[in-house]
């Protein structure tokens, strides 16, 4: 069973940038799509971004398109989420997840392994 550990969260002013990392251990993530989700206080979990197993195809939620970029380094078993032009509405716990499939997917049901999350707080 793959283990996922997120890092890179923190407190940032609106307009700033952060880079989140998700490192896998116990099993390689090569061959599997990866996704990022977030949960804001009092809200449902929300899809943010997904990347296919090669890194050649990505998919974003409309709310982050053009501001966030997902990437991966299979040699390092690590997935990244670059967050630019941060807004207070981006405040949430961010989770990475490993999918059961190799293609991009926004459905949480297609992900079978989740990290513990990293907090991102954006002040206005």
Whether 47 has a pLDDT exceeding 90, the answer reads yes
Confidence band for 26, pLDDT divided at 50, 70 and 90: confident
Please state, for a pLDDT cut of 90, what percent of the chain lies above it: 87
DSSP 64-80: TTTTEEEEEETTTTEEE
* Overall average pLDDT of the 55-80 stretch: 97
Are 114 and 5 contacting, i.e. CB atoms less than 8 angstroms apart? no
Q: What is the mean pLDDT of the chain?
A: 95
By residue count, the chain amounts to 124
Strand 10-13 relative to strand 58-60, pairing: unpaired
Whether 122 has a pLDDT exceeding 90, the answer reads yes
Q: Tell me the per-residue pLDDT of 70-118, one tens digit each, with 9 for 90 and over.
A: 999 999 999 999 999 999 999 999 999 999 888 888 999 999 999 999 9
């Amino acid at each position: 069973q793959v283990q996922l550990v997120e890092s890179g969260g923190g407190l940032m002013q609106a307009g700033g940038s952060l880079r989140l990392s998700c490192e896998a251990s116990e099993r390689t993530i090569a061959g599997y799509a990866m996704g990022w989700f977030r949960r804001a206080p009092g809200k449902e979990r929300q899809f943010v971004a997904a990347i296919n197993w090669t890194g050649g195809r990505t998919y974003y939620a409309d709310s982050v398109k053009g501001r966030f970029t997902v990437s991966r380094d299979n040699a390092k078993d690590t997935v990244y989420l670059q967050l630019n032009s941060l807004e207070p509405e981006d405040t949430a716990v961010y989770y990475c997840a490993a999918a059961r499939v190799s293609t991009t997917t926004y459905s949480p049901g297609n992900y079978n392994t989740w990290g513990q999350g990293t907090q991102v707080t954006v002040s206005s």
